[in-house]
Amino acid sequence: MERLEAFQVAARLDGFIEVNEVEDGSALWFRNRLPDAGTNSHKRLCLDGLTNSATIYWQTVGSQFNSRTFRTVSSLQEWLRLHPHQ
């Protein structure tokens, strides 16, 4: 999980809190502390130690679920700046 430390720092700075870790220890799950405006749902974030990536899941106002995978911390940070939860 050390490889994902930079993803964890970026997630926590954006208001994500750790939810749980899968049994084999290859992934960490986070959710936003606050729900997104308009949907009242929390973004979810999975940090995958096998692929060294982060995938974020969110719901739109029209109740559609979406996801996006990031291979770099900078790309995750940029996306989070463009899609604030408040």
Task: Decide: residue 63, CB within 10 A, 0-12 exposed, 13-18 middle, 19+ buried.
Answer: exposed
Mean pLDDT of 66-81: 94
Q: What are the start-end ranges of the H helices in 4-72?
A: 5-13
- Compare 1 and 8 and report the one with higher pLDDT: 8
Query: Helices then strands (H, E): number in the chain?
Result: 2, 5
pLDDT digits 0-9 by tens, 8-64:
999 999 999 999 766 667 889 999 988 887 788 889 999 998 999 999 998 887 878
Task: Say what the pTM is.
Answer: 0.84
> Residue 48 corresponds to which tokens in the numbers above?
């995958």
CA distance linking residue 17 with residue 32, whole number of Å: 6
